[in-house]
Amino acid sequence: MSQGWNVQDIPDQGGRTAVVTGANSGLGLATTRALAVRGARVVLACRDASRGEEAAARVRRVVPGADVTFAPLDLADLASVREFADRFEGDRLDLLIDNAGVMALPQGRTADGFETQFGVNHLGHFALTGLLLPRLLATPGARVVAVSSFVHTLSGLDFDDLNSEHGYRRWIAYARSKTANLLFVHELARRLERAGSEVVAAAAHPGYASTNLQTAGVRMERRRTAERIVGWGNTLFAQTASAGALPTLYAATAPGVRPDSFTGPRLLMTRGTPAPSWRARWTLDDAAGERLWAASEELTGVTYPV
């Protein structure tokens, strides 16, 4: 891995199609813009139509001739996930970047009754990836990249309480959802290998990047002082969203990325150019991966063709 890898090192993406979830702002928008610059057709999969359309327009203004389109996707509603997959046009899909997420929200439930962070960050993406997998399998060189977080180190999964029904702690729930992202990639990579598929399932994290993810929870609760403090922290210490997107872009496009790899910022997992990232041992547990997979199939009703 080159020490100075940057967006200029992204290989030509002409003729390739990418889906980026949560592409209307932050890391997702930065990822979309970088892929569009290199010639990819990018589908911005976002919950809010006005924000999604505006994000696509912004990319077109910055990248003349960019082939970017908005498509509605609400990861908190499995019916919306199925509708997105049913409407997706074309037989091939080169890149699926499971980027969208929520962080440290007040306790809530998705449309299907799942704890919000587990439902959006893991189950929604699990269902989406499974429904789009036939197209990925049919596309030479296809990759799936799940965006996790170094915060996953705070907690493994509690399989007796996946929906945090027995005492909700927002940061632990977030950490568990990010652990689920890594376990999902671990198990998906194992299944793809057993099936003889060359699709690469990998993971990345942005380190400490300045996005609206950090302020969403405190804003929902109208905690103005906390929102200001988080905003100051983003300004003083965080790297930009464009820098935070680099590990995702590396995992999605760099030659030789290994299945089940985890890429993050080089400096203390918080900032800098992409490098292999440390991960908690529980994200490499085969038995836990199989157990999460079985639970996810049962909860979402989505089974995989591998």
Task: Tell me whether residue 168 is one of the annotated catalytic residues.
Answer: no
Dist. CA 37–CA 98, nearest whole Å: 20
Token pair in block for residue 39? 């010639």
* The dihedral formed by the CA atoms of 175, 180, 182 and 187, expressed in degrees to the nearest 10: 160
Phi-psi region of 104 (alpha: psi -120 to 50; beta: other; left: phi over 0): left
| 120 DSSP 8-state letter | I
Residue of 174, 208, 250, 304 with catalytic role: 174
Dist. CA 39–CA 32, nearest whole Å: 11
* The dihedral formed by the CA atoms of 106, 111, 115 and 116, expressed in degrees to the nearest 10: -50
Number of residues in the chain: 306
Annotated catalytic residues are 174
